[in-house]
């Protein structure tokens, strides 16, 4: 059975991805908009009477099928993972790659470790909560197609909702000198097959709000994705490129950083992701690169940025216990309401723990936790290279963590 098949016996366990708030909300919005659009189409434009009604109804069904097809493929096909314990064939390439201690292997070019999936993901763009999976090499086209089809389908549904309410309320509205009355019980000249009652009006209005909101929100995500795809980048790589320019400018190294995967043509970049077969080009490990670059141009830049981050890190000592809660109410109302909007895990801290903070905000910090000797049993490294969110109190006279001089 081909690897791009919808759901195979080998990956039926992936159905558990549906048990998450992201897919529940996304599928609920699709169900509400689709079902209400079908019902309103019967009221407004009965499909068996005219050719236009038939075309309208068939298009509506096609939108729903295509949206669900791409959504479930993006979720269940997945991004593609680097094999556990992977190593490059040439041992000299080890020095250009980062080693993942969780997967016990090297990170191939363009791959990143996802803490939610607990695997190194091929050409990782981001972890999307709406599909409860990563967007990467294998499912980038499916995910982007979903982002395109969802606004188109919702726009069509919104037109149906508006026309249904307009045609059904036109003869029911009476205007007075100071009032506007809507008589939902009034008999129309041509009574539709299904009655348009007050609950139907409320449901249509609610579905219209969902459709318009989805069109705007998902449409913006589509343009963001297409912007990076046409440059043959991912969202993470765009951030790496920006940091590379900042690093060169800060240290005045006079380096010339060229993004290695931009093939110089938007059409060529587009074809790297979208193919007629649905399977993207490449094996997810080796990539076509710019003539002035090589396979490890970006990984070398990542190593430089990692080293620079360690140089800039500031050592802190925890002076209060922190249980790793997402919204720690015990640490103050300000911190509770300013928790970062991310699913990144929070690592519990004990009083006296040492951390190396790399960046942060007024209320939270990112950094690496330093293990004590008794915590290092069974390990051969001193610092846990693991991003975490660390609580930072707003009260200077009682901080949760304090700079260690």
My answer on whether 63 and 181 are in the same domain is yes
My answer on whether 166 and 278 are in the same domain is no
Q: Which residue has the tokens 């919702």?
A: 154
My answer on whether 58 and 170 are in the same domain is yes
Q: What are phi and psi of 163, to 5 degrees?
A: -65, -35
Is 3 a domain residue? no
- The residue annotated as part of the active site, out of 128, 134, 135, 154, is 128
Give me the number of domains the chain comprises.
Answer: 3
Give 351-400 pLDDT, tens digit per residue. Answer: 888 888 877 777 777 777 777 654 444 433 333 333 333 333 333 233 34
Give 49-87 pLDDT, tens digit per residue. Answer: 788 889 999 999 999 999 999 999 999 999 999 999 999
Please report, for the domain that includes residue 387, its CATH number. Answer: 2.30.30
Give 168-180 pLDDT, tens digit per residue. Answer: 877 666 555 566 5
Q: Look up the domain containing 30 and give its range.
A: 9-79+138-229
My answer on whether 192 and 66 are in the same domain is yes
pLDDT at position 388: 35
pLDDT at position 176: 54
My answer on whether 145 and 215 are in the same domain is yes
Q: Residue 51 corresponds to which tokens in the numbers above?
A: 């050719």
Is 127 a domain residue? no
My answer on whether 355 and 266 are in the same domain is no
The answer, yes or no, to whether residue 403 has pLDDT greater than 50, is: no
Is 62 a domain residue? yes
My answer on whether 61 and 202 are in the same domain is yes
Where among 293, 308, 323 does a domain terminate? 308
The answer, yes or no, to whether residue 223 has pLDDT greater than 70, is: yes
Where among 229, 253, 269 does a domain terminate? 229
Q: Per-residue confidence at 248, pLDDT binned at 50, 70, 90? A: very high
My answer on whether 162 and 284 are in the same domain is no
My answer on whether 263 and 368 are in the same domain is no
Euclidean distance between CA atoms 68 and 83, whole angstroms: 29
My answer on whether 170 and 296 are in the same domain is no
The CA-CA-CA angle for residues 336, 338, 344, to 5°, reads 90
My answer on whether 40 and 177 are in the same domain is yes
Euclidean distance between CA atoms 119 and 328, whole angstroms: 28
pLDDT at position 389: 37
**Rounded-to-10 torsion of CA 160, 166, 172, 175:** 160
Where among 198, 229, 260 does a domain terminate? 229
My answer on whether 189 and 207 are in the same domain is yes
Is 161 a domain residue? yes
User: Burial letters for 217-248: b for 16+ Cβ neighbours within 10 Å, e otherwise?
Assistant: ebbebbeebbebbbbbbbebbbebbebbeebb
Is 237 a domain residue? yes
- Of 20-24, 54-58, 108-112, 181-185, least confident by mean pLDDT is 181-185
SS3 36: helix
What ranges make up the beta strands (E) of 297-351?
314-318
pLDDT at position 377: 45
**β-pairing verdict for 105-106 and 112-114:** unpaired
Is 132 a domain residue? no
Is 332 a domain residue? yes
The question of whether 128 is a catalytic residue gets the answer: yes
Please tell me the pTM assigned to this model. 0.80
Is 177 a domain residue? yes
């Amino acid at each position: 059975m081909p690897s791009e098949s919808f759901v195979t016996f080998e990956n039926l366990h992936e159905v558990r991805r549906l048990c998450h708030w992201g897919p529940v909300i996304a599928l609920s919005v699709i169900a509400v908009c689709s079902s209400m659009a079908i019902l309103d189409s019967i009221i407004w434009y009965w499909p068996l009477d005219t050719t236009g009604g038939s075309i309208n109804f068939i298009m509506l069904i096609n939108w729903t099928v295509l949206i669900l097809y791409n959504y479930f493929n993006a979720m269940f096909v997945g991004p593609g993972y680097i094999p556990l314990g992977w190593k490059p064939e040439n041992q000299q390439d080890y020095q250009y790659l980062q080693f993942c201690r969780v997967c016990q292997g090297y990170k191939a070019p363009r791959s990143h470790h996802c803490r939610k999936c607990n695997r190194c993901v091929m050409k990782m763009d981001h972890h999307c909560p709406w599909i409860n999976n990563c967007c990467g090499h294998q499912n980038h086209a499916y995910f982007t197609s979903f982002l395109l089809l969802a606004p188109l389908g919702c726009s069509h549904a919104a037109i149906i909702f508006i026309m249904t309410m307009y045609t059904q309320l036109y003869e029911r509205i009476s205007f007075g000198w100071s009032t506007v009355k809507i008589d939902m019980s009034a008999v129309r000249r041509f009574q539709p097959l299904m009655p348009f009652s007050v609950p139907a009006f409320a449901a249509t209005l609610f579905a219209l709000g969902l459709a318009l909101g989805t069109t705007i929100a998902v449409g913006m995500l589509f343009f963001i994705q297409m912007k990076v795809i046409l440059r043959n980048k991912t969202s993470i790589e765009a951030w790496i490129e920006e940091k590379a320019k900042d690093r060169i400018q800060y240290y005045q190294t006079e380096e010339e950083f060229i993004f290695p995967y931009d093939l110089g043509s938007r059409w060529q970049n587009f074809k790297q992701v979208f193919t007629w077969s649905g399977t993207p080009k490449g094996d997810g490990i080796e990539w076509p690169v710019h003539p002035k670059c090589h396979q490890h141009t970006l990984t070398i830049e990542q190593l430089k940025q990692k080293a620079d981050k360690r140089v800039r890190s500031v050592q802190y000592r925890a002076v209060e216990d922190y249980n790793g809660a997402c919204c720690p109410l015990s640490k103050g109302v300000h911190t509770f309401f300013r928790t970062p909007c991310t699913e990144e895990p929070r690592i519990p801290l004990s009083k006296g723990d040492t951390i190396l903070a790399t960046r942060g905000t007024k209320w939270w910090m990112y950094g690496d936790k330093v293990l004590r000797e008794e915590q290092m049993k069974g390990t051969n490294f001193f610092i846990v290279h693991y991003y975490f969110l660390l609580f930072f109190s707003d009260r200077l006279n009682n901080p949760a963590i304090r700079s260690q001089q």
